């Protein structure tokens, strides 16, 4: 898991055991940061609703994003 650190940080995952392109888990105008892997979720901070909140999502494809 890693963050793209440009104008708008986004969260990606990559399976290092196989050759593959990174999978982008977030793709929006919000700022996401501080991702951690916990059990079967990725927990991160986002300002997607205007203020910073803690969110979780499915690590395989970024689905089920919720705070």
Domain spans, the chain:
2-57
Q: Tokens 């089920």: give the residue.
A: 64
Per-residue model confidence (pLDDT) at position 62: 87
8 Å CB contact between 55 and 65 = yes
pLDDT tens-digit series, residues 6-56: 778 899 999 889 988 999 999 988 889 999 999 899 999 999 888 999 999
Per-residue model confidence (pLDDT) at position 15: 87
Beta-bridge partners for 24: 12
Q: Is the pLDDT of residue 4 over 80?
A: no
């Amino acid at each position: 898991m890693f963050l793209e650190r440009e104008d708008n940080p986004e969260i990606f995952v990559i399976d290092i055991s196989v050759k593959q392109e990174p999978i982008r888990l977030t793709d929006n105008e919000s700022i996401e940061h501080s991702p951690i892997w916990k059990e079967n979720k990725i927990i991160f901070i986002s300002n997607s609703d205007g203020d910073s909140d803690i969110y979780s999502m499915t690590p395989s494809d970024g689905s089920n994003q919720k705070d």
